[in-house]
Amino acid sequence: MFTRNALGAALLVLVAGQVIAAETPHLGTPVTPADIAAWDTSISPDGTGLPPGKGSAAQGKEIYALKCTGCHGVAGEGKPADRLTGGQGSLATDAPIKTVGSYWPYATTLFDYVRRAMPLNEPMSLTNDEVYAVSAYVLSLNGLIGEKTELNAKTLPKIKMPNHDSFFIVYPGNLK
Amino acid sequence: MAKKTSSDLDLGELELAAGNGLVDRRGFLNRAGSAAGILGTGLASLAVSPAQADPLKVQDWTKTPGLGFTAYGQPSQYENGVGRGPIVEPNAMYKTGPGSIRSPLQFLDGMITPNGLHFERSHNGIPDIKPDEHRLLIHGLVKRPQVFTLEALSRYPMTSRISFVECAGNSGSLYGKTAADGTAQTLHGLLSCAEWTGVSLALLLDEAGVDPKAKWLLAEGADAASMTRSIPLAKALDDAMIPLYQNGERLRPSNGYPMRLLVPGYQGNMNVKWLHRLKLTEGPTMTRDETSRYSLLLKEGKVAQFKFPLDAKAVITKPSPGLTMKGAGLYEISGLAWSGNGKIVRVDVSADGGKSFAPAVLSEPVLSKALTRFRLPWKWDGGPAVLQARAVDDTGYVQPTRDALVAARGNSPAYHNNAITNWAVAVDGGLKHVYA
């Protein structure tokens, strides 16, 4: 409802003292859910959007060695690109280390991001099983799951990230 | 004798408005006769001029026909030192990848950034998008999911607004424990301002029919980072738009060609470039670039997420490090002020490190969420000075000192640093970034 009200203001045009609702072009083409599936890859924190598939850290270790080590270092220790492991307990110190394990509030973000953006030189090249597996490996390096834990659409959203409760949402307010 | 020129001014008689030589903005303008005449001149020429000018020459370019026409003009060859920089590429392994390049604020004047000098920040390079094959999808919690071509969007009624875009990481080095050496460009140059022309987002959302359950939307870019950010629906309906044009021409590839999102006043990164998808959702998606990045790590390890507007800030661009002052005399202090929360109503300038301030002249137009140019005459006595500018916006918000900001937030937030900058002027006319 409030959409309409906000729009009322935007679309009302004053002509010779009379207020009329402007017609808008309506030039979008309808599209079905099946047609948008390839693009609709974002995943919410409750796991909505996670695809079928599965993987464990044991399987992810190999994929990581092949596709990630070059930029994120052995066991995610970083260099040349972002460090992915460790840093827990460092955030309140003078030298905070922000990693998936120390900083990230949601495990779902890891799947979402790796699937869309990594490896940097070949984004979207991993299968869903590979993304589950390599995510499991990064989480296990951070001590958040065991090596054999199977990551899938059900188990991934249940992982509680250690820094989750440090986050607070500023909007709709502001931080001074 | 006609009107007085700047060199005729009796500097001793100027009415001072604050310590260390800041001249009252009205006094100076009145005495100069024409504000445009004085304010339009460069930094060095405002200094007291030498006794006698050289004899005037009739130059070759006045005696030879000039060059012909070109389809797309370029700046003068003598201005080729003015460019963006430095190129930040974290590593040779990923030649494009994430990186940035900054606007040369100290060489520009006015409020608009030329398109070729607009700052750039991207997370996996600049995509080469074929405009005919680009699509914008609107879906999720809408009655009518739909796809737009660029051609279709180009037929919509266009709106224009002048708006700044500032990276949330701009000025971030001012959280550091020691003052970084740098210029207006290297410290504050992830900031630009353009006239954006495109389609109102509220209009497109109305056509799609937003489900009342929707409170957020996810905006996604078509680049190789698939940059994704959650935007509050209220902001989308308030003043967001989908620009197709930047300063009158189609968007530059580095600024989102063929279409981007503009959420005026919000973190630069939320103005998603190469926009190809808008998904209406109940809550935020919690993407990597709104959790791991662009959140503020505060004291005691607390993390502030979804601080969207860039608070009021002012930066003196002239004089500033890299521009050397040429001897005691009268100069114009000038710079940029802006607020993501509204309009700039005042900029206070200090020449004594914040002990005393005088209000600057704001150049029209002064627009909400746009860069505002400010100016104030300064009679430099040739001694040490510390220049500051402090912005105040129409919410009553006053830009904080660095000490106050760091006391409230600590040294680790990385983003949203809007502390007052100090430029120390040395007796040789050089300038340097310092903490008070």
pLDDT tens for residues A77-132? 999 999 999 999 999 999 999 999 999 999 999 999 999 999 999 999 999 999 99
- % residues pLDDT > 70 (chain B): 90
Residues B135 and B198 in one domain: yes
Residue B97 pLDDT class (50, 70, 90 cuts): confident
Q: Do B152 and A27 count as a contact with CB atoms less than 8 A apart?
A: yes
Say how far apart CA B137 and CA A36 lie, in whole Å.
8
Residue B43 pLDDT class (50, 70, 90 cuts): very low
Quick check: bond before B127 cis, omega within 30? no
- Whether A149 shows a pLDDT value over 90: the answer reads yes
CATH assignment at residue B344: 2.60.40.650
Q: Check CB contact of B178 with chain A, cutoff 8 Å.
A: no
Task: Note the pLDDT of residue A82.
Answer: 95
Task: Note the pLDDT of residue B25.
Answer: 87
- Whether B114 shows a pLDDT value over 80: the answer reads yes
Mutate which: A31, A115, A135, vs B, most B CBs within 10 A:
A31
- Whether B45 shows a pLDDT value over 50: the answer reads no
B152: nearest CB among A28, A39, A124: A28
Q: Which residue has the tokens 């957020």?
A: B216
Domain end residue (candidates: B265, B294, B323): B294
Say how far apart CA B48 and CA B9 lie, in whole Å.
9
Mapping DSSP to helix (H, G, I), strand (E, B) and coil, where does residue A130 land?
helix
> B262-286, pLDDT tens digit by residue?
999 999 999 999 999 999 999 999 9
Q: Do A39 and B208 count as a contact with CB atoms less than 8 A apart?
A: no
Task: Note the pLDDT of residue B4.
Answer: 36
Task: Note the pLDDT of residue B37.
Answer: 33
A54's CB contacts (< 8 A; 6+ apart) are A129, A132, A150, A151, A152
B91: nearest CB among A6, A80, A116: A80
Residue B96 pLDDT class (50, 70, 90 cuts): low
> A10-27, pLDDT tens digit by residue?
444 444 445 555 689 999
Q: Check CB contact of B138 with chain A, cutoff 8 Å.
A: yes
Domain-located, residue B96: no
Residues B319 and B283 in one domain: no
Domain-located, residue B308: no
Q: Number of helices (H) and strands (E), helices first, in chain B?
A: 8, 25
Task: Note the pLDDT of residue B41.
Answer: 35
Pull the structure tokens for residue B420.
């007052």
Distance from A108 to chain B by nearest Cα, in Å? 9
Distance from A89 to chain B by nearest Cα, in Å? 9
Mean pLDDT, chain B, whole residue set = 92
Task: Note the pLDDT of residue B436.
Answer: 78
Chain B from 288 to 327: CB within 8 A of any A CB: 288, 291-292, 295-297, 299-309, 311
Task: Note the pLDDT of residue B39.
Answer: 37
Task: Note the pLDDT of residue A43.
Answer: 98
The answer to whether B103 and B189 have CB atoms below 8 angstroms apart is yes
Distance from A44 to chain B by nearest Cα, in Å? 5
Q: Chain B: residue nearest A83 by CA?
A: B292
Residues B426 and B352 in one domain: yes
More confident residue, B286 or B8: B286
Domain end residue (candidates: B237, B261, B294): B294
Q: Chain B: residue nearest A167 by CA?
A: B303
Q: Check CB contact of B96 with chain A, cutoff 8 Å.
A: no
pTM: 0.92
B201-208 and A2-11 helices cross at what angle (nearest 10)? 130
Domain-located, residue B22: no
Residues B352 and B239 in one domain: no
> B249-259, pLDDT tens digit by residue?
999 999 999 99
Tell me the HSE value of B178 on the side-chain side, using a 13 A CA sphere: 2
Mutate which: A5, A67, A110, A120, vs B, most B CBs within 10 A:
A120
Question: Which range of residues forms the domain containing residue B334?
Answer: 313-434
The answer to whether B23 and B11 have CB atoms below 8 angstroms apart is no
Rg (CA), chain A: 22
- Whether B153 shows a pLDDT value over 90: the answer reads yes
- The DSSP code sequence of B116-146 is GGS-EEESS------GGG--EEEEESBSS-E
Q: Check CB contact of B88 with chain A, cutoff 8 Å.
A: no
CB-CB neighbors (< 8 A) of B225 in chain A: 116-117, 123
Task: Note the pLDDT of residue B422.
Answer: 98
Domain-located, residue B357: yes
Task: Note the pLDDT of residue B411.
Answer: 97
Say how far apart CA B423 and CA B436 lie, in whole Å.
9
Domain end residue (candidates: B262, B294, B326): B294
Chain A from 55 to 94: CB within 8 A of any B CB: 70-71, 80-81, 91-92, 94
Task: Note the pLDDT of residue B29.
Answer: 54
Q: Check CB contact of A27 with chain B, cutoff 8 Å.
A: yes
* Bridge partner residues of B337 (DSSP): B314, B372
Say how far apart CA B82 and CA B118 lie, in whole Å.
12
Task: Note the pLDDT of residue A14.
Answer: 46
Residues B274 and B325 in one domain: no
Task: Note the pLDDT of residue B13.
Answer: 64
CB-CB neighbors (< 8 A) of B341 in chain A: 174
Task: Note the pLDDT of residue B89.
Answer: 65
> B383-410, pLDDT tens digit by residue?
999 999 999 999 999 999 999 999 999 9
Q: Chain B: residue nearest A121 by CA?
A: B94
Domain count, chain B: 2
Domain-located, residue B410: yes
Helix (H) or strand (E) holding A23: none
> What is the average per-residue pLDDT within B209-218?
98
Residue B42 pLDDT class (50, 70, 90 cuts): very low
Residues B237 and B322 in one domain: no
Architecture of domain A2-166: Orthogonal Bundle (1.10)
Mean pLDDT, chain A, whole residue set = 90
Residues B283 and B362 in one domain: no
Task: Note the pLDDT of residue A159.
Answer: 98
Write b or e for each residue in A72-105: b if 16 or more Cβ atoms lie within 10 A of its Cβ, otherwise e. Answer: bbebbebeebbbbbbbbebbeeeebbbbbbbbbb
Distance from B259 to chain A by nearest Cα, in Å? 15
> What is the average per-residue pLDDT within B132-138?
98
Sheet holding A29-30, edge to edge: A29-30, B146-148, B136-140, B275-281, B216-221, B228-232
- Supply the ipTM of this predicted assembly: 0.90
Task: Note the pLDDT of residue B28.
Answer: 55
The answer to whether A77 and A86 have CB atoms below 8 angstroms apart is yes
Say how far apart CA B436 and CA B208 lie, in whole Å.
53
